[in-house]
Structure 1
Amino acid sequence: MQLEQKTITGKEEKSLLSAPTKALSEFYEALNTRDMQKMASNWAQTDEAVMDNPVGGIKRGWEEIRAVYERVFPSPQPYWFEFYDYSYHEAGEIFYVVGRERGEYRTGDRVLKIAIRTTRVFRRIEGEWRQVHHHGSIDDAELLAAYQEAVRSNG
């Protein structure tokens, strides 16, 4: 296990990163720039991909996971997320990170300060690191309800 204090935002210089950290950074780049093509290339395009997050519940397979991002991305206002305070674990063809996400998601004139406990699992598929699992939990019930409502209002 390796503890990391470097925040991952998606804006990192990719050529300076290890291949696993690059895959993690590319996820946050896709999320923060609302780039569905980059998001699709970050996730495994298989039925074994699974996401369990605050706005989508449990989704299995890329098509169900894509539908969650299709609800998040259309927000008419700016948002951002970053990953920090995490541990990095690698075991052969799999690596995973366990840490925290923070960010801002805006709805109307309200700014939601997002705080999510997050785990992401990547597997090497055909020589590339692809995300195969994400789990996120929001502890604050009021924040969870407000974030879910904000994303629902996108479509």
Structure 2
Amino acid sequence: MTDVEAEVLAVNENFYRAFEKKNLEAMSQVWSQGTASLCIHPGRNALRGWKQIRDSWEVIFKNTKYLEIEIEIINTEVRDTTAYIVLFERVLQASSNKTIKAESIATNIFEKMAGKWYLIHHHGSPLVR
């Protein structure tokens, strides 16, 4: 593994740590604040730009009592200032009245800007087994 791959994997890990801890501040440090950022939660419409993405995470975090996330990386690719990670997500989510176990396959795309890697695209698709 190269140093650059390790940097991208660290940002990816920070994304899932922020997700699991329901930490909006940490999430905002991982995501690009640009209008071109894109997020597609499993089974949902595309959200474009940091404001829509941030609002979606805020709603998820507010309506979730507990989150547990396991990831299994399938592939990592780094090219110049762009990188992507394809992975499985296993999410245990508890709200006030139900607990959901869900599996998704996800793609996370990162861009290096001003010497730092940022998440610019997250797309999760539900797996039905």
Q: Name the TM-score class by shorter chain.
A: 0.7 to 0.9
TM-score, reference length from structure 2: 0.88
Q: CA contact under 8 A between 1:55 and 1:68: conserved in structure 2? A: no
2:107 maps to 119
- Considering only CA atoms, is the larger Rg found in Structure 1 or Structure 2? 1
1:43 maps to 31
Distance (whole Å) between structure 1 residues aligned to residue 102 and residue 52 of structure 2: 23
Cα drift, residue 128 of structure 1: 0.6
Alignment of 1:64-103 (within 5 A): 64-103=52-91
**How many pairs were matched up?**
126
Cα drift, residue 21 of structure 1: 1.1
Cα drift, residue 107 of structure 1: 3.2
Gap change, CA 1:109 and 1:63, over 3 Å in 2: closer
Cα drift, residue 71 of structure 1: 1.1
Gap change, CA 1:20 and 1:37, over 3 Å in 2: same
Q: CA contact under 8 A between 2:73 and 2:85: conserved in structure 1? A: no
Distance (whole Å) between structure 1 residues aligned to residue 87 and residue 38 of structure 2: 18
Q: CA contact under 8 A between 2:43 and 2:125: conserved in structure 1? A: no
Identity %: 23
Choose from 119, 130, 135 the match for 2:123: 135
Distance (whole Å) between structure 1 residues aligned to residue 64 and residue 121 of structure 2: 28
Cα drift, residue 99 of structure 1: 1.6
Distance (whole Å) between structure 2 residues aligned to residue 111 and residue 58 of structure 1: 25
Aligned-partner SS, 1:46: coil
The one-letter code sitting in structure 2 at the alignment partner of 1:38 is: A
The one-letter code sitting in structure 2 at the alignment partner of 1:72 is: I
Choose from 92, 104, 113 the match for 1:104: 92
RMSD over aligned Cα atoms: 2.0
Distance (whole Å) between structure 2 residues aligned to residue 121 and residue 76 of structure 1: 25
Structure 1: give runs of 5+ residues left out of the alignment.
3-16, 141-155
Structure 2: give runs of 5+ residues left out of the alignment.
none
The one-letter code sitting in structure 1 at the alignment partner of 2:10 is: K
Aligned-partner SS, 2:100: strand
What whole-Å deviation, never above 9, does each CA across 1:101-138 have from its counterpart, x for those lacking one? 00201134532111011000000011111000011111
Cα drift, residue 55 of structure 1: 5.8
Aligned-partner SS, 2:46: strand
TM-score, reference length from structure 1: 0.74
What whole-Å deviation, never above 9, does each CA across 1:78-108 have from its counterpart, x for those lacking one? 1112221421011110110112100201134
Distance (whole Å) between structure 2 residues aligned to residue 21 and residue 61 of structure 1: 23
